[in-house]
Structure formats: C-alpha cells, structure tokens
Amino acid sequence: EVQLVESGGGLVEPGGSLRLSCATSGFNFNDAWMSWVRQAPGKGLEWVGRIKSKRGGETKEYAAPVKGRFIISRDDSQNTLDLQMNSLRIEDTGVYFCVWVNVGWFHSWGLGTLVTVSS
Amino acid sequence: QSALTQPASVSGSPGQSITISCTGTNSDVGNYNLVSWYQHHPGKAPKLIIYDVTKRPSGVSNHFSGSKSGNTASLTISGLQSDDEADYYCCSYEGGSNSWVFGGGTRLTVL
C-alpha cells in the first residue's frame, strides 16, 4: 500500500523558516518524481514544485510564488522528501501535500500538514 | 501562471449526470494532453480519477469520464452517488513556465 505521511507543519512568524518532511513507503521511491502541492484556507490546490529522481538528474522546478525561497530535497536512503521554506509570508499559509508524481499526473497524495504564517 | 477556470459549484440528484468544465489557454489545456482530475473529500488525501485527459487509473469507477475540446477539458460523472459529493480539481501542464496549474476547484453537491 502506498503511503505518504507529511510532518513538520506549525505556526511560524512572517520572515521565518520551516522544514517539512514526507515519509514514504509502498513504492519505488528511488525512481519516483515527487512534488509538493499546497492549499490555502478556503482556496484551491496550488503546485509548489517538483524534484525528479536521481536517475532523472534530481532536477528541481518551482512555482513562481516560491522560487528562491523554497527548496525541495530528497533522501533516497530514507525514502523521504523535504521542503525547506524560508522567508515565509502570510500567503504561504495552508495545507502542504506531498505527492508522488507519475509522468504527467499526481499519482498519490498524503493527508497534508498545516503551515500557518502569522504574527 | 493563472489558475484554470472551473465553476465554483455544481449539483445533481442521485442517478443523474453532471459535467464540470475546466478552461485554460493554448499554453496549457489546449496544447497538451496532460490534463488530470482529482477528487478531494476535505480532510482526506486528494485522489486521482482521470489522467491524460481521458484515462482512468486502476480501481477508479467508470462512472467518471474525461474529455477535451480546444482549451476546455471536462469531467463527466454519470449515475451520481452520494459519495461523489466532494471537491473536484482539474490540472494541466503549462509549457511556457514548465509548471503545473490547477483549477480553482468545483464543489459537487448531490441533492
């Protein structure tokens, strides 16, 4: 059974940093492309970024609103995905989902972890 | 990248069919067959129900179907059931920015 479990969410002040993690199991993480997708309160889904597999060069892409502030990384030895979020803004508030990407679609999702940016 | 346009809400009675539209541009929906749809019951993990415009993942009911015409993709749910009541999101690859764009979501109410 595929499982993705996010952790690390919480309350942080504007300008602060937070690191999210995603523990995965049930699929070949080493060959998986992974993404983060977020959902602001009462809003729709928003793609945050993607990291390819090591075989794919571990290339990373980011959405314009987070580029230069967020960093996606992976640890294939631990089957984990991370999201380092810096210079956080109020509009970064939301639930962050860890997602297994299969070519052109978002195959499996976690339950998400809530990030609240507020003073 | 701008969000794809979906109706905020749709409704239907059990057994009826409904269609949710998803309008983009020729930089995303109109130029790539990389449109997917997701069902999201709040508090649960979103679920892939359609990929590559028309394909259904294994285990997804065949009362979900997808299509595309020009810059607009559509999700049709036939034979509505009470547990279809959820939020539905479309998504497309956007070539200009090499990114992914979601629709704003549609809340389906089964009357």
Q: Report the 3 state secondary structure along chain B.
A: CCCEECCCEEEECCCCCEEEEEECCCCCCCCCCCEEEEEECCCCCCEEEEECCCECCCCCCCCEEEEEECCEEEEEECCCCHHHCEEEEEEEEECCCCEEEEECCEEEEEC
Give the model's confidence band at B1: pLDDT under 50 very low, under 70 low, under 90 confident, else very high.
Answer: low
CB-CB under 8 Å, A63 with B47: no
Structure tokens at B9: 């809400």
Give yes or no for B47 touching A (CB within 8 A).
yes
- Which residue's structure tokens are 């997701």? B38
User: For residue B103, which residues of chain A lie inside 8 Å, CB to CB?
Assistant: 44
Distances (CA, A) of A104 to A30, B33, B41: 18, 9, 22
Q: With beta carbons less than 8 A apart as the criterion, state whether A46 and B103 touch.
A: no
Mean pLDDT in residue range A92-103:
95
Please write the tens of the pLDDT for every residue from A36-68: 999 999 999 999 999 999 999 999 999 999 999
Mean pLDDT in residue range A4-10:
98
| Among B100, B106, B107, the residue to mutate for chain A (most A Cβ within 10 A) | B100
CA dist., res. A79 & res. A100, Å (int)? 12
Instruction: Compute the Cα dihedral for A111, A58, B3, B76 and give only its sign.
Output: negative
Give yes or no for B99 touching A (CB within 8 A).
yes
Mean pLDDT, chain B, rounded, equals 95
The residues facing A99 across adjacent strands are: A35, A109
Please write the tens of the pLDDT for every residue from B40-91: 999 999 999 999 999 999 999 999 999 999 999 999 999 999 999 999 999 9
- pLDDT at position B97: 86
Give the closest residue to B21 by CA, choosing from B44, B43, B5, B40.
B5
- pLDDT at position A103: 77
- Partner A, chain B 58-87, Cβ-Cβ below 8 Å: none
CB-CB under 8 Å, A104 with B34: yes
- pLDDT at position B70: 96
User: For residue B32, which residues of chain A lie inside 8 Å, CB to CB?
Assistant: 104
Q: Which of A44, A61, A104 has its CB closest to that of B89?
A: A44
Q: What angle do CA A47, A8, A106 make, to 5 degrees?
A: 30
